[in-house]
Structures are given as C-alpha cells and as structure tokens.
Amino acid sequence: ILNVEQSPQSLHVQEGDSTNFTCSFPSSNFYALHWYRWETAKSPEALFVMTLNGDEKKKGRISATLNTKEGYSYLYIKGSQPEDSATYLCARYRGSTLGRLYFGRGTQLTVWP
C-alpha cells in the first residue's frame, strides 16, 4: 500500500483568508498526482492532474505545486470563499497498475462567512 498522507486533517478559516494544505507520498516510481474536491452531497470533482517535477497548475483561486523528488504537493486557495468548503483529496497514480489511484484521507476545509 502506498502511503499518501494529507495534512491537516481539517481546517477552519474565515472568508477571505488564504490557505494551503499538503499531500505527501513516496517519491519512488512516481507517475502522477491527482487532486480532487469533494463537496458534501456531491461527487468528487477533478481539480488537477500533475505529472512533472516542478509543475504548477492553477484554476481560478486554486493552485497546486508538485515536488516529485521529495514527494509532496501543496494546494493553495487564495481568498477562501464559503463555496470552497469541501474535502480536498489527493491521490497518487503509481503507473504499474493502470488506472489505480491511491487516495489520502483528505483535508476537510470549512470557510466561515
């Protein structure tokens, strides 16, 4: 089992605050890292798929970076809004078994108005 760890487990911020959280994973045999957002009562939604060391991706106020050599990825949210409240999941794609993702337990973000 690949240990994909996410921290913190939960986070409460005020509207307008910027925040970030971490996904760490074994750096050997890296192929790709996925980030998903899972809002309550909805389906998980893909945010980013990152494959290259040093990758930076951005979608609106959300951005992510990737360091495959040290085995971590950061997700940043600038100017958090209540609608950003969700669980953010990262998952590692190992490659040797096509399609299989290994998920972390997620970071539950709550943004208070």
Partner 1 sequence: GAGVSQSPSNKVTEKGKDVELRCDPISGHTALYWYRQSLGQGLEFLIYFQGNSAPDKSGLPSDRFSAERTGGSVSTLTIQRTQQEDSAVYLCASSPPRQGSNQPQHFGDGTRLSIL
Q: Binding residues for partner 1, per CB under 8 A?
A: 4, 31-32, 34, 36, 41-46, 49, 51, 89, 91, 93, 95, 97-106
In the complex, minimum distance from the CB of residue 105 to partner 1, in angstroms, rounded to a whole number: 4
Q: How far apart are the first and last CA of the chain?
A: 39
Return the structure tokens found at 95: 């490659």
**Residue nearer to partner 1 on the CB measure, 80 or 89:** 89
In the complex, minimum distance from the CB of residue 13 to partner 1, in angstroms, rounded to a whole number: 22
Polymer length of the chain: 113
**Residue nearer to partner 1 on the CB measure, 71 or 104:** 104
Return the structure tokens found at 47: 């945010």
Residue that the structure tokens 């950003």 belong to:
84
In the complex, minimum distance from the CB of residue 11 to partner 1, in angstroms, rounded to a whole number: 17
In the complex, minimum distance from the CB of residue 112 to partner 1, in angstroms, rounded to a whole number: 23
**Residue nearer to partner 1 on the CB measure, 17 or 55:** 55
Phi, psi torsion values for 69, nearest 5 degrees: -70, -35
What pairing do the DSSP bridges indicate for beta strands 62-67 and 56-59?
antiparallel
**Residue nearer to partner 1 on the CB measure, 28 or 43:** 43
Phi, psi torsion values for 57, nearest 5 degrees: -130, 150
